[in-house]
Amino acid sequence: MKALICGITGQDGSYLAKLLLGKGYEVIGTSRDAIGSSLFNLDRLGIKENLIVSSMAINDFRSVLRVIQKHAPDEIYNLAGQTSVGLSFEQPVEAMESIAHGTLNILESICFLGLPIRFYNAGSSECFGDTDGDSADEDKPFCPRSPYAVAKSSAHWLVQNYREAYGLFACTGILFNHESPLRPRRFVTQKIVHAAAHIANVGIGSLELGNIDIHRDWGWAPEYVEAMWLMLQQDQAADFVIATGRSCSLCYFVERTFSWFGLNWKDHVQFNNELRRPSEITYSCGNPLRALSRLGWRPHFDVDYVIDAMCSEAKKSTPNQ
């Protein structure tokens, strides 16, 4: 089996590549600039030499078509495009082009080439908006509240349309928040973890945050990429919510993280209203029952494990002062 992972250098792409290599796949990954891109995550997982990385601009149809035609994969995993909700408010056009337009380019390329390719699209829990204290399943209507979420919603509906109109094996994984030590530090979870590690190491310091009263359903990223693979092994394509079913506040994440390092978070955290988003989701939680019943997938780790694992890794990587 041959798999093409669009956006292989990120957290999910790297873990997915490791999973597929372990299953005997030939893995080809794409990055906008394969020569200039950082392959740090792939090297960190010890798999950089076991795969091919090819240049591809996902918002350029010719580039997408050329790569798919050259490699003729059995499976395509689309994990490319803008990944930051906050950044999408500053770069909304890039969000739409890289996510919605990029997904459309892949779907059109599969149709044009007529190859029996199975396609996975990375959706997002952000599409649901606020779940109002409940857990969202696949039947909950979308209510996107950011340019990122609007783009992800558009891509989701494109996948459904091409599945129904052209008979493609195409599905979307509606993944709730999932973290790991491979998360970039621009994400709030890593920002918190590395700030606490640094403060514990040097004895002083502070961390600026926006709204910590938001609730999120946080899971363990290596488990979530297994769900992606399982979706493409089914007899029929379908969309799935992937989540833990447990939601907790960002305040809980902060408190537990600082406590892990023996710190009281109230002594170090400051609040900055400029870090608040123009529109914020107060509560987000997912219901993974369909994934359990149809895929046999269940989460084994929740937010407490995620925090412990990220803190442990951050402690090892923090230079001694």
Give me the sign of the Cα torsion angle 260, 264, 268, 272: positive
| CA diameter of the chain | 61
Is 126 an annotated catalytic residue?
Answer: yes
Instruction: Quote the CA–CA distance of 41 and 181 in Å, as a whole number.
Output: 10
Cα atoms in the 13 Å half-sphere on the side-chain side of 219: 28
Q: Given the structure tokens 């795969």, which residue do they identify?
A: 51
Q: Among the options 148, 180, 247, 284, which is catalytic?
A: 148
Helical segments of the chain, H only: 11-22, 40-44, 61-71, 85-90, 92-95, 102-113, 147-166, 188-202, 221-231, 250-260, 289-290, 303-317
5 φ/ψ angles, rounded to the nearest 5 degrees? -110, 110
Q: Which of 283, 21, 42, 271 is nearest to 145 (CA)?
A: 283
Is 148 an annotated catalytic residue?
Answer: yes
Instruction: Quote the CA–CA distance of 247 and 81 in Å, as a whole number.
Output: 26
What DSSP string describes 123-151? --GGGG---TTS-B-TTSPP---SHHHHH
Residue pair 274/211 in contact by the 8 Å Cβ criterion:
no
Instruction: Quote the CA–CA distance of 253 and 269 in Å, as a whole number.
Output: 13
Q: Among the options 97, 126, 223, 255, which is catalytic?
A: 126
Instruction: Quote the CA–CA distance of 109 and 170 in Å, as a whole number.
Output: 13
Residues with a catalytic annotation lie at 124, 126, 148
